Amino acid sequence: MTRALLTALGDALLDERRQLTADELAAASALPDAEVPALASLAHEVRLAWCGPEVEVEGILSAKTGGCPEDCHFCSQSSQFDSPVKATPFLDTDEVLAAARETAKLGASEFCIVLAVKGPDERTMERILELVPIVRDETGLNVAVSAGILTDDQAGRLAGGGVHRYNHNLETSRSFFPKVVTTHDYQERLDTCELVRKHGMELCCGVLLGMGESVEQRLELLADLRALDPDEVPVNFLNPRPGTPLMIRKPLGPLEAIRWIALFRLALPRTILRYAGGREITLRELQAAGLTSGINALIVGNYLTTLGRDPQEDLQLLQDLKMPVGSLSKVI
């Protein structure tokens, strides 16, 4: 029965080249733990067939850290919690450029400027629009931006200003969202994602797994993501931060994380699926396994408020796996 299901999923995605139905995904999510390696192996085949062998490498920079008025319960940048992360003003141009140059040296193709804000005010918009062409022209990197909820006019200006990809995460399902955020709603996030699309920027829309959501809620999130059809989905795992309401949660187990990486790949066969925050504490020794379970992109170096591992370790891992570093925007 289990093997028959895996065969049927493979036939659908590899031979018929069609998307899985919601029922097929639900059945895959219920496979026993012993079948996770087989599920992961199928997800790897699907990734190679739909996306090719390249892995996209990206650096991110927190250009304005902390002091955010929102109350996302997982986030140490919220000013509503007593977290050790202290608010800092917008970095100056030289600091941003220095970080972008370091990212370019690693062979990366994307550089994302991230701001801890609900949405950009006019001064922030002007700074972003000033920085984007400087970084792009000085480093040759595609510049992505993450600056919260946008208006229609702001999305149009960012697209016109050369922002290649805009990040705005759904994080979790609509039904679970109010348990972890009360200062804005899920629909506001979806609306921004749609504006990004409307104005022709690539959409990067991430998730955060391990906040206490159920399997059904993860499937619900997958359905929303499939409707949005983002270019990229960063997969974050909760790294419980001191001072935040979710500090008491235990990180996901490595095998559960691999199962969900594989399921995200099966649900989103042509999307760039990026390893993002929390992978080190969640996957531990299984980090390489994620790259053969459907992941085809990495954030290297540090995250917004936590340290990642040495980028050279990730580049070595890609070499060991014989996975070429490349820009996926051009191939997908």
* Residues at the contact surface with ligand SF4, assessed by CB under 6 A: 68, 70, 72, 75, 77-78, 116, 118, 148
**Which residue's CB is nearer to ligand SF4, number 108 or number 116?**
116
Question: What separation, in Å, do the N-terminal and C-terminal C-alpha atoms of the chain show?
Answer: 34
**Which residue's CB is nearer to ligand SF4, number 77 or number 172?**
77
Shortest Cβ distance from residue 109 to ligand SF4 (Å)?
A: 25
Q: Are 210 and 182 in contact (CB under 8 A)?
A: no
The span from the CA of 152 to the CA of 226, in Å, is 23
**Which residue's CB is nearer to ligand SF4, number 99 or number 114?**
114
**What are 149's two structure tokens?**
């909820």
Shortest Cβ distance from residue 35 to ligand SF4 (Å)?
A: 34
Shortest Cβ distance from residue 284 to ligand SF4 (Å)?
A: 25
| Size of the chain, expressed as the number of residues it contains | 332
Shortest Cβ distance from residue 48 to ligand SF4 (Å)?
A: 33
Shortest Cβ distance from residue 234 to ligand SF4 (Å)?
A: 13
**Which residue's CB is nearer to ligand SF4, number 85 or number 325?**
85
**Which residue's CB is nearer to ligand SF4, number 43 or number 112?**
112
Contacts of 148 (CB under 8 A, 6+ apart): 115, 117, 118, 119, 120, 168, 192
Rounded to whole angstroms, what are the CA distances from 167 to 23, 76, 81? 29, 18, 24
Shortest Cβ distance from residue 121 to ligand SF4 (Å)?
A: 14
Shortest Cβ distance from residue 266 to ligand SF4 (Å)?
A: 27
Shortest Cβ distance from residue 127 to ligand SF4 (Å)?
A: 17
**Which residue's CB is nearer to ligand SF4, number 271 or number 305?**
305
**Which residue's CB is nearer to ligand SF4, number 72 or number 283?**
72
**Which residue's CB is nearer to ligand SF4, number 70 or number 231?**
70
**Which residue's CB is nearer to ligand SF4, number 206 or number 269?**
206
Shortest Cβ distance from residue 191 to ligand SF4 (Å)?
A: 15
Beta-carbon count within 10 A of 97 CB: 16
